Chain A
Amino acid sequence: MATLSFKDFKSDQEVRWCPGCGDHAVLAALQRALPKVSQALNYEKERYVVVSGIGCSSRLPYYMDTYGFHGIHGRATAISTGIKVANPWLTVWQACGDGDALAIGGNHFIHAIRRNIDINIILFNNRIYGLTKGQYSPTSKFGAITKTSPYGTVEHPFNPGSLVLGAKGTFFARSLDVELKLNEEIMTAAALHDGTSVMEMLTNCVIFNDGAHREISDPEVRADRTIVLRAGEKMIFGKNRDRGLVYDGRKIRAVHIGEGGYSEEDILVHDPHSDNIGLHMALADMKGPDYPVALGVIRDVRDVTYDDGVRDQVKDVMLKSKIHCVDDLLHSGSTWEVE
């Protein structure tokens, strides 16, 4: 098999996102991750299908030189599910926004996770409806002022991580659009994960919600307000790498190493493969000012997948059944002869 490069995944279509939109970087990360995935798993290009719903980020399939399906609003997850069940050999990637996946498509989203079907969902979260020009979304902060909330929203946002883990998701990662290298890493891990992988990409919308994640993404504060979790590594963060996460018997706490009696030895080691969903939920829920926002692969555990289950059941029944063709079926059960 010829080695694939990012160019093989770039379509001839002009990318029409706004200059400065966070989606450009996520697309670039995907185009760089897939050659590596292909190498690692020995996948040909024709094996990829990229599915999307409706919204700015859902234009992504047109920019990928793979099989692609630009669906309808909210339904990408259902379309992906159908593709994967119909042909488990295909590797399905999905692009969807916060409105697409969590508002109109919320039902399909949680049920795909519940079934643990082997699809890779990139959730572009810019906390706004961009394509309809600036209305609040289910991830907009409480009080957000938008075109449909001129006096501020009076509803709480979803934290996608809590939603995914609440539905017993087997893979959840989070990152910032600008973290190109980390995003490649996350996407590769998602591809290797068997089951539903949700990658929340915190993206900026330069036009309707500029600075959507400013409080953690600005270069001056990023190191202090985020923590990149990596398997087997201590949960240390901060510009000076002097802060970390500890568990005090009741909950996670963010501490300064060397203060309050905490030494580096007390700092937790990240294990995304642990059964302890409670700890993963606590990590996914962390937010300022008391905590850094967790980035990286937060949870990555094995469980049975829906697509395998469907395929195996079909095989199993095929072996056991006496009905092997439609003629057999038509003559099964109670019949009678007319001479």
Chain B
Amino acid sequence: MEHKIIDVQDVVIRFAGDSGDGMQLTGSLFANMSAIYGNGLSTFPDYPAEIRAPQGTVSGVSGFQVHIGSEKVNTPGDYCDLLVAMNPAALMANAKWCKRNAMILVDEDSFDEAGLRKAGFKTDNPFAELGVDDRVLVVVPITTLTEESLKDSGMDIKAIHKCKNMFTLGMACFVYDRPLDYIFEYLESKFAKKHPEVIEPNKKVLKDGFNYAANLQVIADTYHIAPSHPKKGTYRNITGNQAVAWGLLAASEKSGLPLFCGSYPITPATGILEELAIHKSLGAKTLQAEDEIAGICTAIGASYAGNLAVTTTSGPGLSLKTEALGLAVMAELPLVVVDVQRAGPSTGIPTKTEQTDLNQALYGRNGECPIPVIAAHSPANCFDAAFTAAKIALEHMTPVMLLSEGFLGNGSEPWLIPSMKDYPVIKPPFAKSLGADGKFKPFERDPETLVPRWAIPGQKGFEHRVGGLEKNHDGVLSSDPANHALMVAEREAKVQKIADFIPELEVDGPASGKLLVVGWGGTFGHILSAVHEVREAGMTVSRAHFDYIYPVPRNTGKVLAGFEKILVCELNSGQFANYLRTLFPTADIVKCNKVQGQPFLVNEIVDAIKEEL
């Protein structure tokens, strides 16, 4: 039958099913294919903490949202144009994310009496019950059709059922006018060595899904999202966790120091440790420690021994590392601490995103214990953020906290691959000379930067001791009150001095006016989209995003002073807003907060902005 192909700017697709249904893979394949096709892209995996939660229940639903557009897209999208629900629970959990004109594709075979009850439906019409019966409902017996498609494949029924997601993906590819070639190539390269026997069946079921959709009356229109025309060059898709790992490897190369990562597995940060573990060919050493404390302490030891040392974690792990952070501050050793934030407190909601560790990063230590804090603002930006964190750590002889978020770590976007020749060389302040008495003074500072020099064990004549006890400039233990006051002030001033070496805060829009919308970290895309939307409605609003949180850029006070009101949007109860209030008490700061373990919806920010204008 003939289908009308309609050109659209962007679409949001949400794949949802049981956590064993392969929805993460389906979503990633769709995303990667679209990226290669030349679309703008942003993804958001939304999965439960349980590896295999009870089948068919709402708590076990795993989702993967893909937003593709003709131009660059900034967020994974608020509401979807297509919801794929592999079972009633997936529909129950996700129907609320459907646009008014959305298409809902479900596997009819799973919508039996038992399935409906398990998902908590009270009637036999789940669509009416959820108030989505006015959407385009595509009810297809996906399980049966997959069985039919593969009945001659020789595969057992369990293996056949695992291909249901490919049938679905085939259908989605038809609806959005995607060529299947990319997925074919993926299947061939992925399974060529280990499971060549699954390549053909998967290809077949994918094609059958595609063709089945083509013959469905209910799918009247298909949609085309034209490729964008981004900057020339080589692109790839990258997740935030991968980008952090690669940014650290880049810093290792640019500093000439081997990378050491001491970490303990924790959601959602584990991906960084896993990624680094692969790249031993670049000299990276990874140590999966016995606990979070050993993770950071091995890293501190490695730093003392002259490596670029890193520890990666998430909120609860950062809590455990707290005492050792103080040690790194006291020993004035370079160290990158990556916190991929998740919903807290305590174990909280481990797989959900939040920005609630800012206070912990800034203040969570005993004593006066300053640690620079920087934040990544998109999955690809994690590369530059990690590189910068390492550069600051190595050149300013301090631990540096890099805040990422589950949303960034697991999310992905296309990335114009940079060239390493465009990145600066990192120059740690290696010790070259001894004091007049022939001894090395570990805490004597460069008068300009206040940075001490770095003498690495093995360097003849520079033997010295570091540790958690207060010392004087010579590295000799001291409990002298005046010396303690001096050292406390110097450690703080050293960190403040970093502001001289970081870029100024940029303002998007007029440099003064009624309202400045401010954010930090992973809210970047949502705030950007919201600001665009408000401007399209004819209103004037400016925007600034903080990549550097402590110290803040030098011009921050000046920027804030240009606006009547500052609206700080963040995924916590106002931690950054309160921080800015402390630093700039005269600024009129208002808050836009969300603490639900979920990213902002663009609409929520739009509403908050409109309220202030």
Which residues of A come within 8 Å of B, CB atoms? Answer: 11, 13, 44-47, 49, 51-52, 54, 61-62, 65-72, 75, 78-87, 89-90, 107-108, 111, 310, 313-314, 317-318, 320-321, 323-327, 329-331, 333-339
Contact = CB atoms under 8 A, between A and B. Distances in A.
A318 B279 contact: no
Interface stretch (B158-166, B230-238, B588-596): B230-238
B284 to A, nearest CB: 8
Given A46-B460, A62-B477, A78-B301, A331 B234 contact: yes
B476 interface: yes
A65 B463 contact: yes
Given A46-B462, A314-B283, A326-B246, A78 B35 contact: no
Of A82, A108, A335, which is in contact with the most chain B CB atoms at under 10 Å from its CB? A82
B434 interface: no
Interface in B284-300: 284-285, 287, 289-291, 293-294, 297-300
Contacts of A49: 304-305, 457
A82 B469 contact: no
A314 B297 CA distance: 22
Contact of B282 (A44, A72, A323): A323
B245 to A, nearest CB: 10
B230 to A, nearest CB: 6
Contact of A83 (B250, B293, B305, B462): B305
A326 B255 CA distance: 13
Interface stretch (B11-19, B49-57, B78-86, B413-421): B413-421
A79 B297 CA distance: 5
A336 B35 contact: yes
A183 to B, nearest CB: 23
A41 B279 CA distance: 34
B465 interface: yes
Contacts of B32: 334
Lowest 10 CB-CB distances: which A-B pairs, in order? A82-B301, A70-B467, A321-B281, A78-B297, A82-B298, A86-B302, A68-B465, A86-B305, A317-B280, A79-B301
B479 interface: no
Contacts of B317: none
B431 interface: no
6 contacts: A70-B468, A85-B260, A318-B281, A326-B250, A327-B420, A338-B231
Contact of A62 (B291, B307, B465, B468): B465
B297 A333 contact: no
B231 A51 contact: no
B283 A318 contact: yes
B420 A81 contact: no
Contacts of A51: 301
A326 B420 contact: yes
A87 B307 CA distance: 8
B236 A86 contact: no
A151 B417 CA distance: 69
Nearest to B227: A338
Given A70-B465, A338-B235, A86 B281 contact: no
A72 B365 CA distance: 14
A61 to B, nearest CB: 5
Given A82-B287, A84-B305, A85-B301, 10 more contacts: A47-B457, A62-B477, A70-B466, A70-B468, A78-B262, A85-B260, A86-B260, A323-B281, A324-B282, A330-B420
A78 B233 CA distance: 44
A179 B20 CA distance: 64
B309 interface: yes
Contacts of A84: 301, 305
B69 to A, nearest CB: 15
A329 B279 contact: yes
Given A329-B246, A330-B418, A68 B258 contact: no
B458 interface: yes
A79 B280 contact: no
B293 A61 contact: no
Contacts of B285: 85-86, 310, 314
A32 to B, nearest CB: 18
Nearest to B280: A317
Contacts of A66: 463
Nearest to B182: A334
Contact of A79 (B260, B298, B458, B463): B298
A145 B411 CA distance: 58
B253 interface: yes
- Scoring A11, A111, A335 by chain B CB atoms within 10 A of each residue's CB, the highest score goes to A335
Given A49-B457, A334-B32, A82 B232 contact: no
Contacts of A330: 236, 246, 417-418, 420
Given A47-B458, A71-B327, A82 B260 contact: yes
Interface in B306-361: 306-307, 309, 323-324, 326-327, 331
